[in-house]
Amino acid sequence: MRLHWHRTDLRPSDNLPLSTVDSDEEPRSSGNRRAPRAGDEPILPVYVFDPRILDHAAPPRIAFVIDSLERLREWYRTRESDLLVVRGSAPEELARLADAYDADAVSWAQAYSGLGRRRDQRVRERLDADGVESHTLHDHLHHEPGSITTNEGEPYSVYSYFWKKWRDREKRESVPAPGADRLAAPDRDTPIPTLDDLGFEEPEATVPTGGYEEARHRLNEFCSGPIYRYERARDRPAADATSRLSPHLTHGTVGVRTVHDRVVRAREDAPDADAREAVETFRGELAWREFYHHVLYFNPEVVTENYRDYENDIEWRDDAGELRAWRNGETGYPIVDAGMRQLREEAYMHNRVRMIVASFLTKDLLIDWREGYDWFRRKLADHNPANDNGGWQWAASTGTDAQPYFRIFNPTTQGERHDPDAEYIREYVPELRGVDPDLIHDWTDLSPTQRRRTAPDYPAPIVDHGDRRERALAMFERARGEADDD
Ligand SMILES: Cc1cc2nc3c(=O)[nH]c(=O)nc-3n(C[C@H](O)[C@H](O)[C@H](O)COP(=O)(O)OP(=O)(O)OC[C@H]3O[C@@H](n4cnc5c(N)ncnc54)[C@H](O)[C@@H]3O)c2cc1C
91 closest CA partner among 53, 138, 61, 64: 53
Any ligand 1 atom below 6 A from CB of 249? yes
Enumerate the CATH 1.10.579.10 domain ranges in the chain, comma separated: 320-479
Q: What is the pLDDT of residues 100-121, one digit of tens each?
A: 999 999 999 999 999 999 999 9
Q: Is pLDDT of 24 > 70?
A: no
Choosing among 3.40.50.620, 3.30.70.60, 3.40.109.10, 3.40.50.10260, the CATH entry for 2-139 is 3.40.50.620
Q: What is the pLDDT of residues 34-46, one digit of tens each?
A: 344 445 689 999 9
Which pLDDT score is estimated for 40?
67
Q: Which of 97-101, 173-177, 402-406 shows the lowest mean pLDDT across its residues?
A: 402-406
Any ligand 1 atom below 6 A from CB of 68? no
Q: What is the pLDDT of residues 408-419, one digit of tens each?
A: 999 999 999 999
CA distance 32 to 124: 10
**Average model confidence (pLDDT) for the chain?**
94
Q: What is the pLDDT of residues 281-301, one digit of tens each?
A: 999 999 999 999 999 999 999
Q: What is the pLDDT of residues 325-350, one digit of tens each?
A: 999 999 999 999 999 999 999 999 99
Q: What is the pLDDT of residues 380-400, one digit of tens each?
A: 999 999 999 999 999 999 999
Evaluate whether 339 touches 355 at the Cβ level (below 8 Å). Answer: no
Q: Is 142 left (phi over 0), alpha (psi -120 to 50) or beta?
A: alpha
**Ligand 1 atom 6, closest CA:** 388
CA distance 52 to 93: 13
Which pLDDT score is estimated for 431?
98
Choosing among 1.20.58.220, 1.10.3720.10, 1.25.40.80, 3.90.76.10, the CATH entry for 141-174+211-298 is 1.25.40.80
Which pLDDT score is estimated for 35?
44
Ligand 1 mutation pick, 262, 351, 352, 414, max ligand atoms within 8 A of CB: 351
Any ligand 1 atom below 6 A from CB of 149? no
SS3 84: strand
CA distance 356 to 368: 15
Any ligand 1 atom below 6 A from CB of 245? yes
Enumerate the CATH 3.40.50.620 domain ranges in the chain, comma separated: 2-139
Query: Per-residue confidence at 434, pLDDT binned at 50, 70, 90?
Result: very high
Burial class (CB in 10 A: 0-12, 13-18, 19+), 181: exposed
Mean pLDDT calculated for residue range 462-478: 98
* C-alpha to C-alpha distances, 343 to 77, 245, 258, 464, nearest whole angstrom: 35, 16, 28, 24
**Ligand 1 atom 20, closest CA:** 351
* C-alpha to C-alpha distances, 23 to 13, 20, 163, 284, 423, nearest whole angstrom: 14, 5, 31, 31, 51
Q: Is pLDDT of 464 > 90?
A: yes
Q: Is pLDDT of 23 > 70?
A: no
**Ligand 1 atom 44, closest CA:** 289
Q: What is the pLDDT of residues 267-285, one digit of tens each?
A: 999 999 999 999 999 999 9
**Ligand 1 atom 31, closest CA:** 285
| Domain 320-479 is found in CATH 1.10.579.10 | yes
